[in-house]
């Protein structure tokens, strides 16, 4: 049976709603036609990303759930760097209530600094990223779910451009305007939108990435 991978930050039956539920819906829909691997972390809570579940593979309802160790979860530094990002959006006149069309939402952060922020948002798993780097060729298709987390961002950098499907579950929030996220999204073969409003925001952000 042909294999498909779904990448998401958490996967457990106790997690209800959100992008995790969306990822599981994809897995449930695809498992009758494909061998499905959910690539995720050992974390359950989204506040601290603590390693709770065992590493390794668990079969759940006909789906292989492969969990990887979280190397970077919560730390006071995460709060510090995230707060600095919000302050810089305000300082450069592009806070949540200014430029509602996104025209001026830009902060002059370097790519390394933006990527440091993404890592610190958590959950960052070096072993998950390495697995994607070494095994992306095993899968007919890879679906990456939710833009914000390092599981999605750094996985997309390991998958050749034009190969992954990307469901960003995009919100109109400051991190969405960071250039690293826009360029990562541009690497996807196709984007999966859940609402027309999300699609309009995503098309606007993606077009700005192409012109920048």
Do 174 and 89 touch, CB atoms closer than 8 A? Answer: yes
The answer as to whether 173 is a domain residue is: yes
Helix (H, G, I), strand (E, B) or coil at 121: helix
Cis peptide before 123 (omega within 30 of 0): yes
The answer as to whether 160 is a domain residue is: yes
Q: What is the pLDDT of residue 208?
A: 59
Q: What is the pLDDT of residue 205?
A: 76
Q: φ and ψ at 93, to 5 degrees? A: 75, 30
Domain boundary among 55, 85, 111: 111
The answer as to whether 116 is a domain residue is: no
Say which CATH number the domain at 49 has: 3.40.50.2000
Helix (H, G, I), strand (E, B) or coil at 118: helix
The total domain count for the chain is 2
Measured distance CA(121)–CA(47) in Å, rounded:
10
Weakly modelled stretches of the chain, pLDDT under 50: 97-104, 210-212
Q: What is the pLDDT of residue 91?
A: 85
Measured at the CA of 87, the angle between CA 201 and CA 198, to 5 degrees, comes to: 10
Q: What is the pLDDT of residue 98?
A: 45
Same domain, 66 and 24: yes
pTM attached to this predicted model: 0.92
Query: What's the domain range around 103?
Result: 76-111
Same domain, 140 and 105: no
Same domain, 88 and 148: no
Q: What is the pLDDT of residue 125?
A: 98
């Amino acid at each position: 049976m042909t294999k498909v991978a779904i990448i998401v930050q958490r996967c457990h039956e106790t997690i209800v709603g959100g992008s995790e539920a969306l990822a599981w819906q994809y897995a449930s829909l695809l498992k009758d036609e494909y061998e499905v691997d959910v690539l995720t972390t050992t974390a359950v809570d989204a506040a601290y990303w603590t390693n709770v579940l065992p590493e390794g593979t668990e079969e759940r309802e006909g789906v292989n759930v492969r969990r990887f160790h979280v190397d970077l979860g919560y730390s006071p530094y995460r709060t510090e760097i995230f707060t600095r990002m919000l302050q810089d959006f305000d300082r450069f006149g592009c806070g949540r209530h200014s430029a509602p069309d996104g025209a001026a939402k830009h902060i002059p952060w370097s790519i390394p600094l933006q990527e440091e922020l993404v890592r610190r948002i958590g959950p960052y798993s070096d072993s998950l990223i390495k697995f994607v780097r070494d095994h992306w060729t095993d899968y007919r298709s890879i679906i990456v779910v939710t833009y914000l987390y390092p599981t999605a961002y750094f996985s997309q950098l390991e998958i050749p451009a034009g190969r992954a499907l990307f469901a960003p579950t995009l919100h109109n929030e400051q991190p969405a305007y960071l250039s690293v996220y826009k360029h990562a999204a541009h690497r996807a073969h196709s984007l999966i939108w859940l609402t027309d409003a999300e699609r309009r925001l995503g098309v606007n952000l993606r077009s700005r990435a192409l012109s920048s």
